[in-house]
């Protein structure tokens, strides 16, 4: 296959590029290189795969350039985006232009230049907005849990999305999410939408605004300031990058039977962890006491978000294989092996 990956030098994009290049697929990595770590990831891909991966430095807001590279590919995996809630609040216009308009550019490029190409879009659990916080919770010592047994296995794809307090980031991604699904219905494009929870893994340059698992690990190893926003009992289902690679592979293999579908994607109910629980895990693995402080809750932070992944299991035959203990250990090892990138 020939695959265009937007955000191809980012965390998820570079892992996907490596995965498919290693299988013999031809990859175009399209990236603006604006995000921290992308130049390192690109150099790593070039060293490993050379000409198997073609790099295009471009912005998804550049429709003409994007259209040029969409023309003769079999699939577009759209991972590029503005990824931080905090940044969206500071600059909502830029957030909209990258996430909403950028995604529309991808869809229009496909519609006008290569209608048969598959399109996989990485959306977010933030499309469900503050509705998730309306589910009653039980507070435990180190975490919150859903009190309603209906959500024992997580949030399903038909959960309401029409709440306020999405934050500008949630709104821009929701707009993009709607467009991707509508282009399947109205124009017959072969699209798939993944509403993702917390993804983590090697080649992730997490920071305080985004990529919290990597941020906690990097901060803990190098004794950098670590702030918990809220009380630290908020829970996410975490998904290792290797499992994301397999998910996309299965989606492209089964595109004919799942086009137009939306999937909630994360580690699922078997791979949940709270912020406080991750710190405890890191203290054990690093054999040190980790210092951290607390600050106010961030806008529209979901106290518990767990993806109900049964639809992906049923239609794609996919389920996560990397457990949090293993994934965190692998990310710790990668950070130690690349110390020069963080000090």
Domain chopping of the chain, boundaries: 2-341
Q: Which residues are catalytic?
A: 169
| Mean pLDDT in residue range 245-274 | 97
Model confidence at 251: pLDDT above 90: yes
Provide the angle, in degrees to the nearest 10, between the axes of the packed helices 11-22 and 38-49.
10
User: What Å distances lie between residue 148 and 155, 166, 200, 240, 307, CA to CA?
Assistant: 11, 22, 28, 27, 15
Give per-residue pLDDT as tens, 290-341. 999 999 998 878 999 999 999 999 999 999 999 999 999 999 999 999 999 9
Look at strands 190-196 and 235-240 and give their pairing. unpaired
Q: Which CATH number fits domain 2-341: 3.40.50.720, 1.20.1260.10, 3.40.50.410, 2.60.40.420?
A: 3.40.50.720
Chain centroid to Cα 223, Å, comes to 26
What pLDDT digit, counting tens, does each position of 74-89 carry? 999 999 999 998 999 9
Under 8 Å CB-to-CB from 183, ≥6 apart: which residues? 107, 110, 111, 119, 189, 191
The answer to whether the pTM exceeds 0.85 is yes
Instruction: Please tell me the distance from the alpha carbon of residue 50 to that of residue 45, in angstroms, as a whole number.
Output: 7
């Amino acid at each position: 296959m020939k695959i265009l990956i937007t955000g191809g030098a980012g965390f998820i994009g570079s892992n996907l590029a490596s995965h498919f290049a290693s299988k013999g697929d031809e990859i175009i990595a399209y990236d603006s290189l604006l995000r921290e770590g992308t130049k390192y990831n690109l150099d790593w891909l070039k060293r490993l795969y050379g000409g198997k991966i073609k790099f295009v430095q471009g912005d998804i807001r550049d429709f003409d350039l994007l259209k040029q590279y969409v023309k003769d590919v079999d699939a577009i995996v759209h991972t590029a985006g503005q990824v931080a809630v905090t940044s969206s609040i500071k600059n909502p216009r830029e957030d909209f232009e990258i996430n909403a308009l950028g995604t529309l550019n991808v869809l229009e490029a496909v519609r006008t230049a290569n209608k048969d190409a598959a399109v996989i879009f990485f959306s977010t659990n933030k499309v469900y907005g503050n509705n998730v916080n309306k589910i009653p919770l039980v507070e435990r010592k180190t975490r919150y849990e859903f009190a309603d047994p209906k959500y024992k296995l997580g949030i399903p794809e038909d959960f309401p999305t029409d709440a306020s307090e999405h934050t500008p980031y949630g709104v821009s991604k929701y707009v993009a999410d709607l467009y991707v699904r509508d282009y399947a219905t109205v124009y017959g494009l072969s699209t798939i939408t993944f509403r993702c929870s917390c993804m983590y893994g090697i080649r992730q340059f997490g920071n305080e605004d985004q990529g919290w698992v990597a941020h906690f690990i990097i901060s803990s190893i190098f004794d950098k300031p670590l702030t918990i926003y809220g009380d630290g009992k908020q829970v996410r289902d975490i998904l290792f990058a290797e499992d994301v690679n397999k998910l996309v592979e299965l989606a492209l293999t089964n595109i004919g039977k799942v086009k137009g579908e939306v999937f909630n994607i994360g580690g699922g109910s078997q791979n949940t962890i709270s912020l406080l629980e991750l710190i405890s895990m890191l203290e054990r693995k690093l054999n040190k006491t980790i210092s951290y402080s607390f600050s106010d809750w961030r806008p529209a932070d979901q106290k518990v978000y767990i993806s109900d992944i049964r639809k992906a299991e049923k239609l794609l035959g996919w389920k996560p294989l990397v457990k949090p203990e293993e994934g965190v250990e692998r990310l710790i090892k990668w950070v130690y092996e690349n110390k020069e990138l963080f000090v």
